[in-house]
A and B are shown apart, each in its own frame.
Chain A
Amino acid sequence: MPKAHLKVWRGDDSGQYVEYDVEYEEGMVVLDVVHRLQATQAGDLAIRWNCKAGKCGSCSAEINGKPKLQCMTRMGTFIDGETITIAPLKTFPIIRDLVTDVSWNYRVAETMPELKLSGPDASGHRRMQQIDIDREQEFRKCIECYICQDVCHVIRDHPENQGNFAGPRFFVQLANVAMHPLDQNPKSATVAHGFGLDYCNITKCCTDVCPEGIHITDNAIIPLKERRVDEYYDPIRAIGRKLFGKK
C-alpha cells in the first residue's frame, strides 16, 4: 500500500505542522487519509466533517495552500511522494487543529434580509416559471463551506473589514432575495444596504474556489453592483434626489 506524507496543522494559533506517513488505497480522498490518521496515530485530531460527499460543506481546509473540501480532493490528484500540507482555513481563528471558529458567518447570516413573498394565486399556487428561477436555484446550491469567505482578500488580508463586509457567501444570499421573482422586500433591504458590496473589486477568487461551481462574481455580485449603481449613482436620479430631497 502506498504511503502519503502529510503535514497537518496541530494545535491553535501557536501550534505547528506535524508530519505523518499514512497508508492509502486507490480512490481515497484526503478526508479518508485524515480519518485513517485519526484512527491509527492521532486519536484526538480535531476535524469537522459530515456527509463526505461534497453536500454539507463541513470539511473545508487549505490543502497545499488552496482552500478545498477534503472529501472531494482525491489522492490521485497528487504526484507520488508529494508532501500534502493540510491547514485550517486561514481567515478564521483556529480552535484546534483543522477546526476554525466560523461563528462570524453565522452572525452575518442574522443580518441578511428575509424573503417576503407575495401570496398564492386564486388556485392556491405560487406560480413561477423555471426559466425565472434557474439563477436563483444556482444561488441556493451554496453548501456554506465558507471557502469563498476564506479566500476573499477583503477579509483574509484585512480582518478589520469583517464588521462592514458580508463576504461572497452572503452576496449570493442577498442576490437570492433581490432576484426572487416573488419577493416583495423594498430595495432598501437588499440593494441599498449593500453589506459592503463596494469593497469587492471582482477578482473572482471566490468563484474560482467554489466547490459548487456557483458563478458568484458574474451572477450574484456584479448584478448586485449594477443594481446599486443604477439605483444610487445614476447622475440623473442624483439630481432628482437633490431637487426633491429624496434620499
Chain B
Amino acid sequence: MADIETHEYDVLVIGAGGAGLRAAVEASALGARTGLVCKSLLGKAHTVMAEGGIAAAMGNVYSEDNWQVHFRDTMRGGKMLNNWRMAQIHAQEAPDRVKELEEWGALFDRTPDGRILQRDFGGHRYARLAHVGDRTGLEMIRTLQQHAVHRGIEVHQECTVNRLLKDGDRISGALGYWRESGRMVLFRAKAVVIATGGLGKVYSITSNSWEGTGDGHSLAMQAGADMIDMEFVQFHPTGMVWPPSVRGLLVTEGVRGDGGTLKNTSGERFMFNYIPPMFAAETADTEAEADRWYDDKVNARRTPDLLPRDEVARAINSEVKAGRGTAHGGVFLDIASRRSADYIKRRLPSMYHQFMQLAGVDITKEPMEIGPTAHYAMGGVRVDAETAASTVPGLYAAGEVAGGMHGSNRLGGNSLSDLVVFGRRAGESAAKYALGLTGQPSVDQGAIAERSASILKPFEGGQENPYTLHRELQECMHVNVGIIRTDSEMRQALVKIAELKDRLSRVQVEGHIQYNTGWHLALDMEHMLCVSEAITMAAIERKESRGGHTRDDFPSTSGEFSQVNVVVRLRGSAVSVAQEPLPVMPDELKKLFEE
C-alpha cells in the first residue's frame, strides 16, 4: 500500500461539529499543522440541529446568576455523577466562549439594553441560554465554520475515518476512506482529537442524523481508550410522534422555556404529579405558582414542565403506559393556548415551520403531539478535565463523544457550551502535545494494508442486507436497552448483538465503491454494534436507576453506585466493565450543595 494517499499533520481533528471546529481553530492558532476530517459536507454536522441555545451564566437577564449556580444546576441535573472539575471548568468558561462566538460573527437575540438575551430551560435556575430564535446550532456552526475557513484550516469533507493508528502506545494517525471515490486515505498525525458526536442511530426513534453511529466511541475503544458512563443515554422528552416519517424529530425544550406546558389526553398538566424529592424544594406545586414563575423568578418556584430531561421523559413514558397518551403514543405539548401567535412565531420560528410543513399542525392554534426520542450519549471517552486527554497518549476527545461532563443526565443548553469550552481545551492540549514531540510517529504499514483490504469485504458475496441488520439492531436496542431497562431484556440484547456481529461478517452490498451509501452503512454497523455492546454491558453493571438509566428491577438510586463510574474497555474482541470511584469534589464546592 505504498501508493495510498497520505496527509501529514501535527493535529488531526475528526468531526466538524462545534467541538471539532473549535478544536481545529485552537490547534491552528497555536501553530500546529491542523487537518479536519468530516463525514458530511462542512457545516452539516449534528450541531446544526441544536435549537434552544447555549448555556452560560452571563447574568444578562438575572444578575443573580453566576458560575457557581450553573455548576450546581449541572451537577444536580447529572445526579451528582458528573466529573466535578469538568462541570466547574464548563460553568466558568462558557460565558467567554459565547462572547468569542459573538466576536466571530454570531448574532444572538438581544435584551432591551442591547446585550445577549438569555432564555429559560430545563434544570437551569435562571434564564441562561444565549440563543437565536430556535436555530442556535445553525448560528454556532456557521460562525465556527466561517472562522475556520478564514484561518486556512485544511478540511477533508465527506471522508470517513475507519481506524485509529498507533505507534506502540501512542497515537500516530488515522485511516479513512473518501465517500466519493471509495479510495483509502492515510492521515499521519502526532495527535488526534475525536469530536465525532453521538450514537443515536443505534435506536429506532432518534433525533440523530445518519452520522450519529458512534464512530468516535468505537474508534477510541478499539484504540484502547477507557470509556465511562456508557449506560447513560438521554431520551429527549419532546420528539415529534406523528406522522410516522418524522417520529423522533426534535422539538426544542425552548417551547417549555417560553411557556409551553405538557398535558395528557384529559387536559391535565401531569408534570405536577412527577416532582421528585430532589427537586421538590425548588419546583412549583401549583399551576398558579408555575405560571407566575415565568415572570417572577424570585418569589415563585420553577414549573415542573422544566424539570431535567430524564424526569420529564420518564413521566411522559408513564402517562402513555397508564393509558393517558394520544392515539399515536405521545402526549400534548401546548403553547397555543398560553402565548400569542406572534410571540410563538417570533420565538420558535423553526418549530412553527417544522410542524406546519411536516405534520400540517399550526402550533399557534393546536397543541403539538410529542414523545421521548433518543437524543444524546452522556457516556464516552474518559478524559482528563483540564486537557481533554484520553487514556491513550496523543488521543483527545471533546463534545458528545467525551464522557464525564454531564454525569448521568445532561441539561439542555449544556451541550453547545460543552462543545466550545472543551473543544478549545482539546485543541490546545493536542497542539501542545504534538508540538512537543520530535519526529512523526510511525504507522504500521501492515495494519494499513490489512484494513484497506478487509474494508472491501462487503462486496465479496454474502447474503445479509446492511439496512436490515441496522433496523434489527435499532429495534433490539430500543426495546431492550431503551428508556426503561431490566436485566433479562438487556441479556437478550447481548445475544442479539452477538448474532448481528456474526451476520455482519456475511454482509453483502451491491454496486461499486463510489459514493455507495449501502457500503458506508455496512462499515458504520461495526461501530454501532461496538457501542451497543458497551451501552448494554454498562447498563447491566449499574444496578440502580439514575438519570438516563432507569431499571425496572432496581427502581431507586443506590448509595453504592452514587460513588462510581462504570468503566468500559475493549481488549482484543472482549468488552470488560469495572466500577471505579468518582473523582472527589473539594469541600469548598461541596458547600454549594448544602442549602
Q: Which residues of A contact B (CB under 8 A)?
A: 25-29, 32, 38-40, 43-58, 72, 74, 95-97, 99, 102, 106, 109-110, 112, 114-115, 117, 120, 124-130, 133, 136-137, 140-144, 176, 180
Residue pair A115, B105 in contact (C-beta under 8 Å): yes
Complex: chain B residue closest to A47, CB-CB: B517
Residue pair A27, B515 in contact (C-beta under 8 Å): no
Residue pair B517, A27 in contact (C-beta under 8 Å): no
- List which B178-208 residues lie within 8 A (CB) of chain A: 180
Residues of B within 8 A of A127 (CB): 113-115
Task: Provide 10 A-B residue pairs closer than 8 Å at the C-beta atoms, listed in order of the A residue.
Answer: A27-B244, A28-B243, A38-B518, A43-B465, A51-B46, A58-B40, A74-B357, A128-B110, A141-B138, A176-B105
Given contacts A32-B245, A54-B350, A54-B353, 8 further A-B contacts (CB under 8 A): A28-B245, A43-B517, A44-B511, A50-B48, A51-B46, A140-B142, A141-B135, A143-B138
Residue pair A25, B244 in contact (C-beta under 8 Å): yes
Residues of A within 8 A of B591 (CB): none
Does B326 belong to the interface (CB within 8 Å)?
no
Complex: chain A residue closest to B147, CB-CB: A114
- List which B342-362 residues lie within 8 A (CB) of chain A: 350, 353-354, 357-359
Instruction: Count contacts between A and B, CB distance < 8 Å.
Output: 164
Residue pair A53, B44 in contact (C-beta under 8 Å): no
Residue pair B138, A50 in contact (C-beta under 8 Å): no
Report the stretch among B96-104, B449-457, B523-531, B533-541 that lies at the interface.
B96-104
Complex: chain B residue closest to A10, CB-CB: B511
A116 to B465, CA, bound (A): 52
Determine chain A's interface SS by DSSP, over half rule: loop
A137 to B110, CA, bound (A): 11
Residues of B within 8 A of A144 (CB): 43, 142
Interface size class of B (residues with CB under 8 A): 35 or more
Residues of B within 8 A of A142 (CB): 142
Partner of A110, one of B41, B137, B142, B149: B149
Residues of B within 8 A of A55 (CB): 48-49, 135, 137-138, 350
Residue pair B515, A95 in contact (C-beta under 8 Å): yes
Residues of A within 8 A of B468 (CB): 39
Residues of A within 8 A of B102 (CB): 117, 126
Partner of B209, one of A46, A47, A56, A133: A56
Instruction: Given the known inter-chain contacts A43-B509, A117-B103, A130-B110, please indicate yes or no for A51 contacting B209, CB distance below 8 A.
Output: yes
Complex: chain A residue closest to B349, CB-CB: A141
Residue pair A129, B114 in contact (C-beta under 8 Å): yes
Residue pair B242, A50 in contact (C-beta under 8 Å): no
Complex: chain A residue closest to B353, CB-CB: A54
Complex: chain B residue closest to A25, CB-CB: B244
Residue pair B142, A44 in contact (C-beta under 8 Å): no
What's the nearest-Cβ distance from chain B to residue A242, in Å?
A: 36
A217 to B117, CA, bound (A): 30
